[in-house]
Amino acid sequence: MKQLLQKLNLRHPDEMEKTILYQAQRNAYVFLIAALFLWSLYESYQVYHTHSRLNLLPCLLLVIAAIIQALSQAILTRNAVKDDVDSFETEPFIKIVIIICLSVSIIATIAAAITFTGVML
């Protein structure tokens, strides 16, 4: 396996590469959130101005991106401080459960709204 990784030039990044990768991912995430937010605003304006159907795709993608980010942050925080006795993170597991419950309720609300209003995605 190690030889295959060397042939494909795959290796663990050093600290500088990790920092560059983190910055690139952060920039891409900020762009994604800004683009989805602007798209959601544009769709809302179109519905208000032209009285057309609401396209829920940008709103749904924005909510899903925020949920994934929050879950990832909570899980990574929990894993980072799992064995640390001096950690100030008392119960990150509760945060994860709350985020999952909120996510499920938001998705159920969106599904109910789509069902009752007859909006097609």
Q: What is the pLDDT of residue 109?
A: 81
Give yes or no for residue 84 having a pLDDT over 70. no
Give yes or no for residue 8 having a pLDDT over 70. no
Span 60-84, average pLDDT: 77
Is the dihedral angle over the CA atoms 69, 73, 76, 79 positive or is it negative?
negative
Tally of domains in the chain: 1
| Residue 5 domain flag | no
Residues 46/52, Cβ–Cβ less than 8 Å: yes
| Residue 10 domain flag | no
- The secondary element (H helix, E strand) that includes residue 84 is none
Query: Which has more pLDDT, 87 or 11?
Result: 11
Q: What is the pLDDT of residue 86?
A: 63
Give yes or no for residue 121 having a pLDDT over 60. no
| Residue 55 domain flag | yes
Q: How far apart are the C-alpha atoms of 62 and 116, rounded to whole Å?
A: 22
The Cα angle at residue 67 between residues 12 and 121, in degrees rounded to 5: 115
Q: How far apart are the C-alpha atoms of 94 and 77, rounded to whole Å?
A: 12
Range of the domain at 97: 15-117
Q: How far apart are the C-alpha atoms of 96 and 73, rounded to whole Å?
A: 9
High-pLDDT (> 70) share of the chain, %? 79
Give yes or no for residue 38 having a pLDDT over 60. yes
The model's pTM = 0.57
Q: What is the pLDDT of residue 116?
A: 72
Mean pLDDT of the residues in the chain: 77
Given the structure tokens 């396996």, which residue do they identify?
1
Tokens representing 19 are 């920092």
| Residue 70 domain flag | yes
Give yes or no for residue 39 having a pLDDT over 70. yes
| Residue 34 domain flag | yes
Q: What is the pLDDT of residue 82?
A: 72
| Residue 8 domain flag | no
| Residue 2 domain flag | no
Q: How far apart are the C-alpha atoms of 58 and 53, rounded to whole Å?
A: 13
Instruction: Collect all residues with Cβ–Cβ distance below 8 Å to 11 and sequence separation of at least 6.
Output: 5
